[in-house]
Amino acid sequence: MTVDELLKTLAHAYPAFTVERMTHWAQVFRARLQHREGPHLDSAITETLAEFEPKSAKPFPIPVDFERHLPSIHREKSGAKPIGPLLEARTQQARKLFGEWHDGQGRKIKEARPHPVYAACVLEAYDKARKGGSRLLLTAEDIARCELHAVSCERVHRFGKLPKSPEAWQQQCEEIRAEWAHGQA
């Protein structure tokens, strides 16, 4: 069943659904029901007409009357699965990957690097775990990026705004690295 066929049916079934009203309501019916044309709309028309009682305030059914009898669009998608279990499975996989990383490479990074660098690596590993995969391992480049992030954050915390020269910025970063190397992290 199409919306045009529905409009013709309404015109035949309800005298109040005049040509003038049809022209005003047609765009509303199309906007609300056109994407639902077919057997579901046909069934909804049957159900709606069977229960609808015309009144002076509402002499013919309107789109919302038909929509009540249409199945949920979410259930209608073929092969669609509920998202809740999929999200839970993804969360469990991320926790498993992160746990394995934390017990292996994470422990080694914690022993070998200052705490702020380790904390940045934890965030990076967790982000990678959420993206999935079968094994999680931070590369040397990942760890270097985490260190730069940690040093930059500490530099802002200690010194505030960017210094006027790149050399001053580099000196501030090196000062932080030197303190961390001496165990003052």
CA dihedral sign, ordered 132, 137, 141, 146: positive
99-135 confidence digits (pLDDT tens): 999 999 999 999 999 999 999 999 999 999 999 888 9
Q: What percent of the chain has pLDDT over 90?
A: 58
Mean pLDDT for all residues in the chain = 89
Answer yes or no: are the C-beta atoms of 118 and 84 closer than 8 Å: no
CA-closest candidate to residue 54, choices 7, 23, 13: 13
Mean pLDDT of 90-107: 95
Is there a contact between 38 and 30 (Cβ–Cβ < 8 Å)? no
Average pLDDT over every residue of 133-144: 93
Dist. CA 150–CA 177, nearest whole Å? 10
pTM over cut 0.85: no
pLDDT value for 134: 86
71: which DSSP letter?
A: P
What is the mean predicted confidence (pLDDT) over 157-183?
Answer: 91
Assign 182 a pLDDT band (cuts: 50, 70, 90).
Answer: confident
